[in-house]
Amino acid sequence: MNKSASAQPKSLLATAWAALPEAVRKLDPRYVVKSPVIFVVWVGSVLTTVLSVLHPSLFSISVTIWLWLTIVFANLAEAIAEGRGKAQADSLRRTRTQTTARRLSADGTEEAVPGTDLRPGDRVVVEAGQLIPGDGDVVEGIATVDESAITGESAPVIREAGGDRCAVTGGTTVLSDRIVVQITTKPGETFIDKMIALVEGASRQKTPNEVALGILLVTLTVIFLLAVIALQPQAIYSGDHLSLVVLVALLVCLIPTTIGALLSAIGIAGMDRLVQHNVLAMSGRAVEAAGDVNTLLLDKTGTITYGNRRASQVFPLAGVDRAELLAAARDSSLADLTPEGRSILDFVAGERGEDPGDHTEVTPIGASFVPFTAQTRMSGIDLADGTQIRKGAGSAVAQWVSDGGGATASDLAGIVDQVSSAGATPLVVAARTADGTPRALGVIELKDVVKPGMADRFAQLRAMGIRTVMVTGDNPLTAKSIAAEAGVDDFLAEATPEDKMALIKAEQSGGRLVAMTGDGTNDAPALAQADVGVAMNSGTSAAKEAGNMVDLDSDPTKLIDIVAIGKQLLITRGALTTFSIANDVAKYFAIIPAMFVGVFPGLQALNLMGLHSPSSAILSAVIFNALVILALVPLALRGVRYRPMSASAMLNRNLLIYGLGGVIAPFIGIKLIDLVVALIPGLG
C-alpha cells in the first residue's frame, strides 16, 4: 500500500466535515435499517417530527432535532471510517495503468495485446522499464522490480523463477533484466482490484462476533421497547399521561445507541489499522481471529533470527594471542563477499573499537585471494611475503595443516564440539608463515543470531496467554539452542509441510486458534489450515491465495503486530459496549424521576443530579446521548490502547475505566447540559 495513502488524516475535524454529506445521505431508511438500533432511533425521529408539526412546541422540536442529529452522528462515524478506505482505494486506482502486453505464443513468437485481454496461463515478456501487465509468477529469468506502487517502499526487490520469490503484481515496474511471467488471474480480479474492494469496504461483511453483539443489542432494544410501552398504562393508572415525544426520548436514551452507532466504524477502523501497517486482510473475520489467537507458529529464519549466520565469538587455541586470531580472521575474510564473511569483518572491527560495516581496508599489495569451493571447503588469502591464511570447516583446515607438516592442537576438537553443541557453526582459522609450518590459530563461532528484543516480545505474548512455536528446518540440537535463547515456548525442528499441517490440526483440535506466516508454495496448505494465515507479498501466488492476510512488506515479524491489532479491535468493541450500557444506567436516573415526579413527588429523591425540571432533564439526556457518540468517534477509529496482560486483568481494567467511567460521565455531562438548557425560556 502506498504509505502516503494510508497515512492518518492531519485533521479529524476536516475529515468529519468532508464526510458530513455522506452521513446525511445515509439517513435513507434503506440504509439505516441495516443497523436495527439506529433504525429504532430513525422511526422515533420520524414520529416526533410528525408530532412536532401537528403540535409544535419548543420542547418537541428540540427533542426532534437532537434525535435526527443522533442518527447523523452515528452515520458520521461510519462515513469517516469509510472515507479513509476510499482515499486509499483512489490512490490504488491511480496505480492501475492500461498496458500493452508482449504475449508469447506457442511457437515462441511475441504478439502485442492489451493487458485486459490476458487470461490465466498466458505468458508475457517484460523487460527493464516496462510495467508488468498482470498478476503472475516468474517462470523464466530474474529481475529487480519496483513495487513502490503497492508497498510504498522505494527499494527494489528481486523476483526470480523457480523459488518462493517468484510472484509479481500487475502495475509494478521491472527495473532491470528480462523475465517471462505466467499470468495467474483474470482482468478485474487482480491483486490491486481485490485491495481496492477491501479497503473501500465494498466486500466487508459482518464478523461472527459482530453479528453476535448485534443480536444482543437488538435483544436489549426489544426489552427496553416493551418496558417503555408498559410505562404509559402505569402513568394513566396513576392519573398522568406521558406524551409520545417523552416516551420516544426515553426509549432512545435507554437503548444501546452509543455502541449501535459505533459498531460498524470500529470494524472498518480495525481493518484500516492493518492497512496502515501494510497488511491486507481478506476479511474482517481474519482480523477478529487474530485477536483470539492462542498459538503462533513463527518461522525461525528471518523472523526470530536474522537469517544469515553471523560471527558472534572467537576462541583462540592454547598459546595463540587473541589479537593474532582476530587479524588472521580479518585477512582471510577480506575477499569473502558472503554475509558470513562480512559479519566476520564486522565482528573484528567491533572488537578493535572500529565502526562495524566500514570495510574500506586496502587490499595488501601482491596478495591473492583463495575462494571457497565445495571441494576444499576453505577460503583465505596468500600474502606477498609468503604467509598463507585459511578459514573453513574444521576437518578441511585440519587436513590442510596436516598436509603442510603441522600438528593439530589438542584443544581444537574440544572447542569445535563445544561450538557445534550450542547450535552454532565452527570455522577454524589456520596460518602458515613463509618459513614455518602451518598451525591452527582458533575457532570463529558463527550463529544464526536472534534479533534484539525478541525475548521481550515473546514474554509479552506469553502474558497475553499466547503460546509461541518456532518452526525450522534445523536439526533438533540447533533448534533447541535458538528456541531457548529467543524465549519461545516450543519448537518444531526439521519441519516438513506435513509436519506443519499436523501441528496446526493438533492445536485446533484442542480448541485453540492458530496463526502462522509463510511465503512458499509448500506453505500454502498450512496457511489455508491456520485460522490466521499471513502470506508474504514476495511469496508465491499459491501462498497468497491460501492465506487470509497478505503482508505487503513481506516482514514475518509483523505477525506479532497483527495479533496486537486484532486484540485491540476486540478490546475496543468490548470497552465501548461496556461504556454504552453503563451510560444507560445514569440516563435512567435522569429521565425516569423527571417523568413521574409530578405524580409521585417522592421520586425527587432519585433526582441525584439535581436537574432543573422534567423537560430540561429529558432534553439534556437526549442531547448527551447524541454528543457522546460524536465524542467517542476518535476512540472508535483509533482504538483503545492495547497493553499485553491476562484476560482477567484486562477485564478488570476495562470495567474500571469504561464501566465506572460510563456511569460517571452522564452524571457530569447531563448536569452541565441541564445548566445551559435551564437558561432557555420555554425549556427550563
Backbone angles phi, psi at 526, to 5 degrees: -70, -35
Q: Are 129 and 172 in contact (CB under 8 A)?
A: no
Q: Is 531 annotated as ligand-binding?
A: no
Q: Is 227 annotated as ligand-binding?
A: no
The DSSP code for 523 is G
486-509 mean pLDDT: 88
Model confidence at 45, pLDDT cuts 50, 70, 90, reads very high
Which of 135, 164, 299, 555 is flagged as catalytic?
A: 299
Choose the weakest-confidence range: 25-39, 44-58, 154-168, 585-599: 585-599
Burial of 568 (0-12, 13-18, 19+ CB in 10 A): buried
Nearest to 163 by CA among 539, 477, 635: 539
Residues in the chain: 684
The Cα–Cα gap between 523 and 517 comes to 8
Q: How far is CA 531 from CA 58, 239, 287, 505, 549, in A?
A: 56, 61, 10, 10, 11
Contacts of the segment 595-600: beta carbons below 8 A, 24+ positions apart: 595/231, 595/235, 595/242, 595/246, 595/250, 596/235, 596/238, 596/240, 598/240, 599/235, 599/238, 599/239, 599/240, 600/238
Choose the weakest-confidence range: 221-225, 372-376, 555-559, 600-604: 600-604
pLDDT at residue number 49: 95
Q: Is 523 annotated as ligand-binding?
A: yes
The Cα–Cα gap between 166 and 131 comes to 16
User: Which string of DSSP letters, residue by residue, matches 245-256?
Assistant: HHHHHHHHHHS-
Nearest to 487 by CA among 511, 510, 456, 466: 456
**Rounded to a whole number, what is the distance in angstroms from the first to the last CA of the chain?**
54
pLDDT exceeds 90 at position 61:
yes
Q: How far is CA 456 from CA 488, 555, 643, in A?
A: 10, 19, 14
Check residues 506 and 93 and name the one with the higher pLDDT.
506
The DSSP code for 601 is G
Burial of 412 (0-12, 13-18, 19+ CB in 10 A): buried
Mean pLDDT (the chain, rounded): 82
Residue 227: partners with Cβ closer than 8 Å, 6 or more residues away:
254
Which helix H or strand E contains 19, and what residues bound it? helix 12-25
Model confidence at 597, pLDDT cuts 50, 70, 90, reads low
Q: Is 336 annotated as ligand-binding?
A: yes
**Predicted TM-score (pTM) above 0.75:** no
Q: Is 519 annotated as ligand-binding?
A: yes
Question: Domains, the chain, ranges and CATH?
Answer: 12-85+204-274+564-678 (no CATH), 101-133+135-184 (2.70.150.10), 279-304+451-552 (3.40.50.1000), 307-449 (3.40.1110.10)
Q: Is 372 annotated as ligand-binding?
A: yes
Q: Is 411 annotated as ligand-binding?
A: no
Model confidence at 596, pLDDT cuts 50, 70, 90, reads low
Report the side by side order of strands in the sheet with 514-518: 279-281, 549-551, 532-536, 514-518, 295-299, 467-471, 490-492
Percentage of residues of the chain with pLDDT beyond 70: 86
Which helix H or strand E contains 225, and what residues bound it? helix 208-237
Burial of 129 (0-12, 13-18, 19+ CB in 10 A): exposed
Model confidence at 86, pLDDT cuts 50, 70, 90, reads low
Q: Can you tell me which residue has the cell 481494567?
A: 653
147-152 mean pLDDT: 68
pLDDT at residue number 430: 92
pLDDT exceeds 80 at position 510:
yes
pLDDT exceeds 60 at position 359:
no
The Cα–Cα gap between 487 and 466 comes to 13
pLDDT tens digits along 459-480: 878 877 889 998 887 778 778 8
104-115 mean pLDDT: 85
Q: Is 176 annotated as ligand-binding?
A: no
CA 639 to chain centre: 13
Model confidence at 94, pLDDT cuts 50, 70, 90, reads low
Choose the weakest-confidence range: 9-18, 252-261, 668-677: 9-18
How many other β-carbons are positioned within 10 Å of the β-carbon of residue 655? 15
Burial of 647 (0-12, 13-18, 19+ CB in 10 A): exposed
pLDDT tens digits along 655-669: 888 988 888 898 899
CA 201 to chain centre: 17
93-106 mean pLDDT: 74
The Cα–Cα gap between 460 and 462 comes to 5
pLDDT exceeds 80 at position 224:
yes
Q: Are 616 and 674 in contact (CB under 8 A)?
A: yes
Is 555 a catalytic site residue?
A: no
Residue 406: partners with Cβ closer than 8 Å, 6 or more residues away:
430, 432, 437, 438, 439, 440
Q: Is 379 annotated as ligand-binding?
A: yes
Q: Is 340 annotated as ligand-binding?
A: yes
CA 228 to chain centre: 44
pLDDT at residue number 4: 38
Q: Are 164 and 519 in contact (CB under 8 A)?
A: yes
pLDDT tens digits along 406-430: 877 788 888 988 887 777 788 899 9
Model confidence at 202, pLDDT cuts 50, 70, 90, reads very low
Choose the weakest-confidence range: 312-316, 327-331, 496-500, 569-573: 496-500
At 146, which amino acid appears? D
The DSSP code for 158 is E
pLDDT at residue number 60: 92
Backbone angles phi, psi at 626, to 5 degrees: -75, -45
Q: How far is CA 104 from CA 67, 111, 119, 455, in A?
A: 64, 7, 12, 51
Report the side by side order of strands in the sheet with 378-382: 305-316, 439-450, 425-432, 388-392, 378-382, 368-370
User: Which string of DSSP letters, residue by residue, matches 79-117?
Assistant: HHHHHHHHHHHHHHHHH----EEEEE-TTS-EEEEEGGG
Q: Is 391 annotated as ligand-binding?
A: yes
How many other β-carbons are positioned within 10 Å of the β-carbon of residue 494? 11
Percentage of residues of the chain with pLDDT beyond 90: 16
Residue 469: partners with Cβ closer than 8 Å, 6 or more residues away:
295, 296, 297, 298, 488, 489, 490, 491, 492, 503
Check residues 132 and 236 and name the one with the higher pLDDT.
132
Check residues 146 and 191 and name the one with the higher pLDDT.
146
Residue 609: partners with Cβ closer than 8 Å, 6 or more residues away:
589, 590, 617, 667, 670, 671, 674
Q: At what angle do helices 558-596 and 257-276 cross, to 10 degrees?
A: 160
Q: Is 153 annotated as ligand-binding?
A: no
Model confidence at 683, pLDDT cuts 50, 70, 90, reads low
pLDDT at residue number 11: 66
Q: How far is CA 178 from CA 149, 229, 406, in A?
A: 20, 75, 52
Q: Can you tell me which residue has the cell 505474548?
A: 461
